[in-house]
Amino acid sequence: MLIVERQTRIAELLVRRGMADLETLCAELAVSQSTVRRDLDSMEERGLVKRTHGGVVWIGEPGRADGGHPYAFDQRMGVLADTKRQIARAAAKLVEPSQTILLDGGTTTFFLAQELLNQSLQIVTNSLPIANVFLNAKDVELILTGGVLYPRYGVLLGPMADQALAAVHATILFISVAGINEGSLFNQNPLLVQAERRMMEQAQKAVLLADSSKFGQQALARLGGLNEIDLVISDAGLSEAYREEVRAAGCELVIA
C-alpha cells in the first residue's frame, strides 16, 4: 500500500470514528506501529490529526475561519471524492425524468445530487447540503422534510421528519451508510437510522451507494440487513469476497 493510500485510509477511519488507538490502526492497516507513527506524524504536521497518549484524534482540514473544526459532513467530502463521484455517476444512470427520488444525507448522495441537477425530477431529502444543491434548479421540485437539525451531518431528524417521510412514495431511494458488516448495515446515530428505515419503507427500490472502504465496518446503530437493499453500487476496490456477500444477499451489484 502506498503512503498516500495508507494515510487516506487512516483519514477515512478517523473521520468515521473521531478517534482511534494506535493498536487498532495497526491491525486494520496490517502495518507496524512505526509505520503508523510516521503517517500520524505527517498528518499532524498538516493539521489533520492530534496525537494523544496511545492514540490519535481527527481534527479535520486546517485553515478555516471557524477555527479549523468543520462539521463531519465537510470532513468526509474530501475522503475518496473521486471514487464517490464515480459511484454517483453510475447511480444517476438509474434515474429517469419525472421520477420521485429520495436522497439520504450522505456525501456520496451529495455528489449524486450534483449529477441530477439538469433533470426534471421530484427530489425528497432531509439533507440541508443536498437541498442547497437544488436551490435554484428550475426543473426540480424540491421537498425538504422538517425535523430537528443534526448539525454534524446537516440532516433533519426526529418525529417531524418521520411524519413527512411517511407521506412520501418514491420511485428510488439512494442511501448511504457508515458500514456494512456480516450482512448488516450500520450508521452512526439511532435517529438517523430511524429516518433511513422510514425512507426504505416509502421507496419502490432501495439503492445503496457504498465505496469499498465501508465494507467490514460497523457503527453504533444497526439499520437493517443487506438483503433489504435492491442494488448496491460500489467501486473497483471491492474485494471478490465482499462482491459475493452482496450477491448472496440477493442484491444486484454495480461496480462504478
Q: Do domains 3-66 and 81-255 have the same CATH topology?
A: no
Q: Which residue would you say has higher pLDDT here, 145 or 8?
A: 145
How many whole angstroms from its chain centre is CA 155?
12
pLDDT, one tens digit per residue, over 71-116 is: 466 656 667 888 999 999 999 999 999 999 999 998 899 999 999 9
pLDDT of residue 86: 96
Mean residue pLDDT across the chain: 87
Instruction: Say which residues have a Cβ less than 8 Å from residue 153's Cβ, sequence separation at least 6.
Output: 71, 72, 73, 105, 127, 189, 192
Residue/partner pairs of 48-51 with CB below 8 Å, 24 or more apart: 48/11, 49/14
CATH architecture of the domain with range 3-66: Orthogonal Bundle (1.10)
Instruction: Say if domain 81-255 classifies as CATH 3.40.50.2300.
Output: no
Domain boundaries defined on the chain? 3-66, 81-255
pLDDT of residue 69: 38
